[in-house]
Amino acid sequence: MNNFEFKNPTKVIFGKDTIAKLSEEIPADAKVLLLYGGGSIKKNGIYDQVKTALSNVNVTEFGGIPANPEYAVLMEALKVIKDKEITYLLAVGGGSVIDGTKFLSAAALYDGDTPWDILTQNIKTEKGMPFGTVLTLPATGSEMNSGSVITRKETQEKLAMGGPGLFPVFSILDPQVITSIPERQLANGLTDAFTHVLEQYMTYPIGARLQDRFAESILQTLIEVAPNVIKDPTDYKAAADFMWSCTMALNGLIQKGVPTDWAVHAIGHELTAMFGIDHARTLAVIAPSHYKFNFEAKKEKLAQYAERVWNVTEGSIDDKAYAAIEKTEAFFKELGIDTKLSDYTGDYEGTAEKISKRFTDRGWEGLGEHQSLTPDNVEKIVKMAY
Amino acid sequence: MNNFEFKNPTKVIFGKDTIAKLSEEIPADAKVLLLYGGGSIKKNGIYDQVKTALSNVNVTEFGGIPANPEYAVLMEALKVIKDKEITYLLAVGGGSVIDGTKFLSAAALYDGDTPWDILTQNIKTEKGMPFGTVLTLPATGSEMNSGSVITRKETQEKLAMGGPGLFPVFSILDPQVITSIPERQLANGLTDAFTHVLEQYMTYPIGARLQDRFAESILQTLIEVAPNVIKDPTDYKAAADFMWSCTMALNGLIQKGVPTDWAVHAIGHELTAMFGIDHARTLAVIAPSHYKFNFEAKKEKLAQYAERVWNVTEGSIDDKAYAAIEKTEAFFKELGIDTKLSDYTGDYEGTAEKISKRFTDRGWEGLGEHQSLTPDNVEKIVKMAY
């Protein structure tokens, strides 16, 4: 096991009808900015629950944060924070709203030239404006971690940020929220969480037995509950397992002490930036090609995953490892998630070269658990995903 | 899944040669009370490492905290805290030293009549004096939770306390510390952590798939590493898996959203108070009888445990459940841990009645996941363990 440090101070409030607990978590004298997305929370009743819980608190609202939270929109929200002297942020939404809120938490207290620096200069936020979340879409794990990914349309960029000051103070997770989520989004959430685990697990064996088993536990749970989540989101047991699995998939725990990959995300982000493909779907496009391309380096863990998660007991290491990739791709497809770039756009020629060049232009640091993938490797992986 | 709240703010610093990081965690202007046990840390080099790391900090020492931390001894330490105007506590030891330090953290800021009230009146500590830990014996999980158990010889009592203010600020976990731990203590640690998981898992199925799998992951890991930990504590990989498993076994995570039992601990504590039997060994004495006595109520989970953890694939639910109890008892015995009270004392007649009466005298609340065990049940369980 590698040395590691782990600290996650977010208070999780999990379960049925927990949104009412908001009133206990936000200081009575706070000046709150309530942030949300396209307005679905006004149709599904979550907005009303939040407003009722906050009836005695000073609340300003800022809606319209888009999927892949957009820098220009967030800068408008930042202006509201300054103008209204906001002291507390509340994200009501999925990963995009929460990620956008993290950016605002950092930007609100940033005293450099422009908040864009936080993203381009990789500034770790030690202290942000306090914020809580009410999660409306299980997927990204952003509700219990300190990371965020922000998009800037102007430059077609999607950049990561974070820091120990950006954990939510609290996150309310009521699994009942999934009853109003469209099937497409539920499939995205399952795929996103599943791939988060793979990025922290599908590397090479270093004998961190507990982390491996925790990762496998999340994968097994997602596989088991996926059909019910899609077919009947009112199945509370399945919804609760789904929601908690998504959170545990990316709250830092399973990545501690082990090598991690994250190349699938790095490449996938470019596909979202270039084509607007849903984040989760870009992961399903890149992951199988990535594992095939890096087969030799990853086959031991692939075989372990085949055995423990997919119950593949026959065959050689290579056979099992290959079966694992096939099972994974089949799982995505059963969720209705296409796994080839050409399923999403006819205009894919030249994409591989373009992505490779982008990485090079930004200063190549190498991708994957060994930081050994070259721009040429990335080009080949993307081409395999056409 | 049941509703739950989860927050664990302890910073874990895990790995080889991490004790030196103490200097980064304790404020330079702190007045530190360094607490330890019988002095083994002076022989195994840990004391020197701690002193070196704290060479620029104002440190007072208090050694001699016994196993099952004794109230009278802790009251002496409390006097030192007041006299020296201590502002920060540092526990260097196993669960007993850390539990004792938690009591002191609470007592130092308690403004009631006597700190004994914290234990007898079940007062939850919202804010304690800040403290860190350097773990020298993986077992209790106290390094990453907010609970503590204190013993008072005078009254032969062993009482629990805790509260959100009693999480360590940080805990340093260097698996290399186990190289100097006697085999007996290593066996205790394995048994203690194993039973912690059982208490949070061996109840009845409620469909919390991820919590079940996490619990099973810890059990599987402990079973796998146990022979190496005992045979060769210098096997760093095994030591690291062991240490991290002990912490994860009782940091709150796996008990969230599920029913928990804790009857084994409640009864076991009485055996320690009456006979001075090592805590872990009392658990190994009580657990098998407890599971046999409550067989009908627990057999579904026992069978699941048999299948997933012990790979028992043949037989009925009852067969598997029974096999699970046998496998568990055999596991303890392989560690050199006896599982009958008569293995520890010849003077056991009347113990069952005495324990049952103690529970009754203290005001009976019912034990087990349904709070349904009666004093009469407890008497029978203890007799089965003779």
B324 and B303 Cβ atoms separated by less than 8 Å: yes
A133 and A98 Cβ atoms separated by less than 8 Å: yes
Listed residue (A327, A351, A143) closest to A248, CA to CA: A143
Residue with tokens 């965690």: B25
Pairwise CA distance, residues B191 & B202, whole Å: 15
Q: Which CATH number goes with the domain that contains A372?
A: 1.20.1090.10
B238-283: pLDDT as tens digits: 999 999 999 999 999 999 999 999 999 999 989 998 999 999 999 9
Pairwise CA distance, residues B54 & A90, whole Å: 41
Count of A–B CB contacts within 8 Å?
Answer: 113
Q: Which residues lie across from B89 on neighbouring strands?
A: B33, B131
Q: Which residues lie across from B133 on neighbouring strands?
A: B91, B171
Clarify whether residues B44 and B90 are in a common domain.
yes
B59 touches chain A (CB under 8 A): no
B314 touches chain A (CB under 8 A): no
Clarify whether residues A201 and A350 are in a common domain.
yes
B225 touches chain A (CB under 8 A): yes
Task: Flag whether pLDDT at B365 surpasses 90.
Answer: no
B228 touches chain A (CB under 8 A): no
Which of B2, B9, B221 is nearest residue A213 as measured by Cβ atoms?
B221
Contact between chains at B237 and A16 (C-beta distance less than 8 A): no
**Chain B residue closest to A225 (CA)?**
B209
Q: How many CB atoms are closer than 10 A to CB B13?
A: 22
Q: Token digits for A257?
A: 């002490």
Pairwise CA distance, residues A243 & A233, whole Å: 11
Please indicate, yes or no, if residue A347 is contained in any of the structural domains.
Answer: yes
Listed residue (B286, B291, B382, B280) closest to B337, CA to CA: B280
Which of B7, B207, B244 is nearest residue A11 as measured by Cβ atoms?
B7
What is the band of B20 on the pLDDT scale with cuts at 50, 70, 90? very high
A56 touches chain B (CB under 8 A): no
Q: Which CATH number goes with the domain that contains A72?
A: 3.40.50.1970
Residue A57 DSSP one-character state:
S
Clarify whether residues B167 and B303 are in a common domain.
no
Clarify whether residues B81 and B135 are in a common domain.
yes
Amino acid at A214: F
Please indicate, yes or no, if residue A6 is contained in any of the structural domains.
Answer: no
What is the distance in angstroms between the Cα of A240 and the nearest Cα belonging to chain B? 7
Task: Flag whether pLDDT at B161 surpasses 80.
Answer: yes
Helix axes A351-361, A375-384, angle to 10 degrees: 150
Q: Which residues in chain A have their CB less than 8 angstroms from residue B240's CB?
A: 1, 208, 257
Q: Which residues in chain B have their CB less than 8 angstroms from residue A1's CB?
A: 14-15, 175, 237, 240-241, 244
Q: Average of pLDDT values for B208-218?
A: 98
Q: Average of pLDDT values for B70-92?
A: 98
SS3 letters across chain B: CCCEEEEEEEEEEECCCCHHHHHHHCCCCCEEEEECCCCHHHHCCHHHHHHHHCCCCEEEEECCCCCCCEHHHHHHHHHHHHHCCCCEEEEEECHHHHHHHHHHHHHHCCCCCCCHHHHHCCCECCCCCCEEEEECCCCCCHHHCCEEEEEEHHHCEEEEEECHHHCCCEEEECHHHHHHCCHHHHHHHHHHHHHHHHHHHCCCCCCCHHHHHHHHHHHHHHHHHHHHHHHCCCCHHHHHHHHHHHHHHCCCHHHCCCCCCCHHHHHHHHHHHHHCCCHHHHHHHHHHHHHHHCHHHHHHHHHHHHHHHHCCCCCCHHHHHHHHHHHHHHHHHHCCCCCCHHHCCCCCCCHHHHHHHHHHHCCCCCECCCCCECHHHHHHHHHHCC
Q: Which residues in chain A have their CB less than 8 angstroms from residue B3's CB?
A: 14-16, 18
Q: Which residues in chain B have their CB less than 8 angstroms from residue A16's CB?
A: 3
Q: Which residues in chain B have their CB less than 8 angstroms from residue A209's CB?
A: 220-221, 224-225, 241
Contact between chains at B1 and A221 (C-beta distance less than 8 A): no
Clarify whether residues B170 and B194 are in a common domain.
no
Helix ranges, chain A (H): 22-25, 40-43, 46-53, 71-83, 95-108, 116-120, 183-201, 209-231, 236-249, 263-275, 279-293, 295-310, 317-334, 351-361, 375-384
Contact between chains at B257 and A240 (C-beta distance less than 8 A): yes
Exposed / middle / buried, residue A371 (Cβ in 10 Å: 0-12, 13-18, 19+): exposed
Q: Which residues in chain A have their CB less than 8 angstroms from residue B4's CB?
A: 12, 14-15
B110-138: pLDDT as tens digits: 999 999 999 999 899 999 999 999 999 99
B342 and B289 Cβ atoms separated by less than 8 Å: no
Percent of chain B with pLDDT over 90: 92
* Length of chain B, in residues: 386
Contact between chains at A7 and B7 (C-beta distance less than 8 A): no
Residue with tokens 């991490």: B18
Which one of A176, A206, A241 terminates a domain?
A: A176
Report the run of H or E that residue A171 belongs to, with start and end: strand A170-173
What is the distance in angstroms between the Cα of B132 and the nearest Cα belonging to chain A? 14
A68 and A125 Cβ atoms separated by less than 8 Å: no
3 state DSSP class of A134? strand
A55 touches chain B (CB under 8 A): no
Which of A14, A207, A224 is nearest residue B3 as measured by Cβ atoms?
A14
Which one of B176, B198, B223 terminates a domain?
A: B176
Q: Average of pLDDT values for B96-103?
A: 97
Pairwise CA distance, residues B361 & B371, whole Å: 17
Pairwise CA distance, residues A292 & B87, whole Å: 56
B55 touches chain A (CB under 8 A): no
B370 touches chain A (CB under 8 A): no
Clarify whether residues A54 and A166 are in a common domain.
yes
**Chain A residue closest to B212 (CA)?**
A217
Cβ partners under 8 Å of residue A350, min gap 6: none
Per-residue exposure over A54-86, b if at least 16 CB sit within 10 Å of its own CB, e if not: beebebbebbebbbbbbbebbeebbeebeeeeb
pLDDT on residue B82: 97
Pairwise CA distance, residues B35 & B93, whole Å: 8
> Which residues 166-185 on chain B approach chain A with CB closer than 8 angstroms?
175
B49 and B20 Cβ atoms separated by less than 8 Å: yes
What is the distance in angstroms between the Cα of B225 and the nearest Cα belonging to chain A? 9
Q: Which residues in chain A have their CB less than 8 angstroms from residue B13's CB?
A: 5
Report yes or no on whether pTM surpasses 0.95. yes
Interface with A, mutate which of B3, B243, B251 (most A CBs under 10 A): B3
B20 touches chain A (CB under 8 A): no
A170-173/A4-14 β-pairing: parallel
Q: Which residues in chain B have their CB less than 8 angstroms from residue A216's CB?
A: 213, 217
Which one of A176, A211, A230 terminates a domain?
A: A176
A165 touches chain B (CB under 8 A): no
Task: Flag whether pLDDT at B39 surpasses 90.
Answer: no
Helix ranges, A121-235 (H): 183-201, 209-231
Q: Which residues lie across from A171 on neighbouring strands?
A: A12, A133
Q: Which residues in chain A have their CB less than 8 angstroms from residue B216's CB?
A: 213, 217
Domain interval for residue B366: 182-384
Cβ partners under 8 Å of residue B83, min gap 6: none
pLDDT on residue A140: 94
Q: Which range is least confidently modeled, A123-127, A337-341, B53-57, B359-363?
A: B359-363
Clarify whether residues A249 and A148 are in a common domain.
no
Please state the domain count of chain A. Answer: 2
Listed residue (A46, A40, A44) closest to A67, CA to CA: A40
Interface with B, mutate which of A172, A209, A214, A256 (most B CBs under 10 A): A209
Listed residue (A9, A57, A251, A33) closest to A144, CA to CA: A251
Pairwise CA distance, residues A77 & A81, whole Å: 6
pLDDT on residue B362: 80
Residue with tokens 């009303």: A48
Which of A11, A221, A244 is nearest residue B5 as measured by Cβ atoms?
A11
Please indicate, yes or no, if residue A5 is contained in any of the structural domains.
Answer: no
Q: Which residues in chain B have their CB less than 8 angstroms from residue A245's CB?
A: 210
Please indicate, yes or no, if residue A3 is contained in any of the structural domains.
Answer: no
Gyration radius of chain A over CA positions: 20
Clarify whether residues A130 and A216 are in a common domain.
no
Please indicate, yes or no, if residue A80 is contained in any of the structural domains.
Answer: yes
Q: Token digits for B81?
A: 């805290």
Which of B14, B210, B224 is nearest residue A257 as measured by Cβ atoms?
B14
Pairwise CA distance, residues A119 & A148, whole Å: 10
B179 and B234 Cβ atoms separated by less than 8 Å: yes
Please indicate, yes or no, if residue B286 is contained in any of the structural domains.
Answer: yes
B221 touches chain A (CB under 8 A): yes
pLDDT on residue A154: 87
Clarify whether residues A240 and A285 are in a common domain.
yes
B140 and B99 Cβ atoms separated by less than 8 Å: yes
Clarify whether residues A211 and A290 are in a common domain.
yes
pLDDT on residue B138: 96
Please indicate, yes or no, if residue A4 is contained in any of the structural domains.
Answer: no
Please indicate, yes or no, if residue A122 is contained in any of the structural domains.
Answer: yes
**Does the interface ipTM go beyond 0.90?**
yes
Listed residue (A136, A118, A143, A194) closest to A19, CA to CA: A136
pLDDT digits (tens), chain A, 386 positions: 999 999 999 999 999 999 999 999 999 999 999 999 998 999 999 999 999 999 999 999 999 999 889 999 999 999 999 999 999 999 999 999 999 999 999 999 999 999 999 999 989 999 999 999 999 999 999 999 999 999 988 887 888 999 999 999 999 999 999 999 999 999 999 999 999 999 999 999 999 999 999 999 999 999 999 999 999 999 999 999 999 999 999 999 999 999 999 999 999 989 998 999 999 999 999 999 999 999 999 999 999 999 999 999 999 999 999 999 999 999 999 999 999 999 999 999 999 999 999 989 888 778 999 999 999 999 999 999 99
Which of A6, A18, A248 is nearest residue B210 as measured by Cβ atoms?
A248
Contact between chains at B5 and A16 (C-beta distance less than 8 A): no
Clarify whether residues A258 and A341 are in a common domain.
yes
Which of A4, A8, A18 is nearest residue B3 as measured by Cβ atoms?
A18
Residue with tokens 């796996």: B254
Q: Token digits for B116?
A: 């004994």
A69 and A107 Cβ atoms separated by less than 8 Å: no
B214 and A214 Cβ atoms separated by less than 8 Å: yes
B131-135/B170-173 β-pairing: parallel
What is the distance in angstroms between the Cα of B60 and the nearest Cα belonging to chain A? 27
Task: Flag whether pLDDT at B364 surpasses 80.
Answer: no
Query: CB pairs under 8 A, 24+ apart, for A318-325?
Result: A321/A295, A322/A295, A324/A291, A325/A288, A325/A291, A325/A292
Clarify whether residues A133 and A49 are in a common domain.
yes
> Which residues 233-262 on chain B approach chain A with CB closer than 8 angstroms?
237, 240-241, 244-245, 248, 256-257
Per-residue exposure over A352-363, b if at least 16 CB sit within 10 Å of its own CB, e if not: beebbebbeeee
Contact between chains at A6 and B11 (C-beta distance less than 8 A): yes
